[in-house]
Amino acid sequence: MKRVENRVCIVTGGAVGIGHACVLRLAQEGAKVAIFDVDDAAGEALAREVGGHCAYWHVDVADEAAVKAAIDAVAARFGAVHVLVNNAGIAGTNKPTHELSEAEWDRVQAVNVKGVFFCTKHAIPHMKAARLGSIVNLSSIYGLVGAPDVPPYHASKGAVRLMSKTDALIYAPDRIRVNSVHPGYIRTPMVEHHLRDSGATDLEAAIREVGALHPLGHMGEPDDIAWAVVYLASDESKFVTGSELVVDGGYTAR
Ligand code: NAD
């Protein structure tokens, strides 16, 4: 089935992890996919693997000029921009609030919040021109509930949740939908790095321990999120905007 046939989709942070799975599933469902990332080796390898209507751009989402240039280049190459998956994100340093430096705080906001702002800002004119658009913002369970770790990350994901609702209201008259996705723990390079950074010496044991926090008993996998993104990108969700799609194995149900 081709659920997003000929839709032009941009996936930020598409080189590895959740973004990588989004690229594969969107392409499989017929989309033309642009990968934006800073990991050139992984991004270019994925674009080659997908082949056909898939290409890689080196873009730091915190750099507005680079974002604008790349989005305009995608529109020139593929003819339009219909879907933006704001997935690029960083966990940042895992320190308590009183130990964080301003620079550590600012870098997380620059990528996770300003990156979403810049990509949205420069994709919107193309979506308005197409009279069609779907923006999918990766928030987190950490944008819904607290946990005693990564304070700048929580702040950033809470911001993304409400940016999604505000933009949903602003752009509804243009038929541009904006939704947030809230993953529980998904096994990706980010989570493995976060667990090591938090002092885990036995990674597999830490994965099991954190997995057990989810009522379904384990961590999710990148495809669990990619299928939610395909749904929100496609017309199957044409009446869905301003919503928060929680994909967390029941983590926030308690
Ligand atoms: P990851 O670290 O495994 O992959 C992130 C990708 O983003 C990498 O390819 C990286 O190179 C890229 N990236 C980082 N900074 C960038 C920048 N400035 N510009 C462009 N690309 C950049 O992360 P992931 O676990 O796949 O997470 C993807 C998204 O999902 C993030 O927004 C994350 O906060 C969110 N999320 C992840 C989880 C999880 O458990 N993995 C849970 C909730 C939310």
Q: What is the per-residue pLDDT across 237-250, written as a single tens digit (0 to 9) for each? A: 999 999 999 999 99
pTM above 0.95, yes or no: yes
Ligand 1 contacts CB of residue 39 (under 6 A): yes
226 pLDDT more than 80 = yes
When pLDDT is averaged across residues 109-124 and rounded to a whole number, the result is 99
How far, in Å, from the CA of 173 to the mean position of ligand 1? 31
Local confidence band at 52 (pLDDT 50, 70, 90 cut-offs): confident
Catalytic residue (one of 142, 153, 171, 251): 153
Which pLDDT score, from 0 to 100, does residue 197 have?
A: 86
1 pLDDT more than 80 = no
How far, in Å, from the CA of 169 to the mean position of ligand 1? 26
How distant, in Å, are the alpha carbons of 121, 213, 239 from that of 216?
37, 9, 29
Indicate the average pLDDT of the chain: 98
How distant, in Å, are the alpha carbons of 94, 191, 192, 201 from that of 208?
20, 12, 12, 13
Q: Which of 154, 61, 178, 242 is nearest to 71 (CA)?
A: 61
Rg (CA), the chain: 17
Closest residue CA from atom 7 of ligand 1: 13
Distance CA 230, CA 244 (A): 15
Active site (annotated) includes residue 231: no
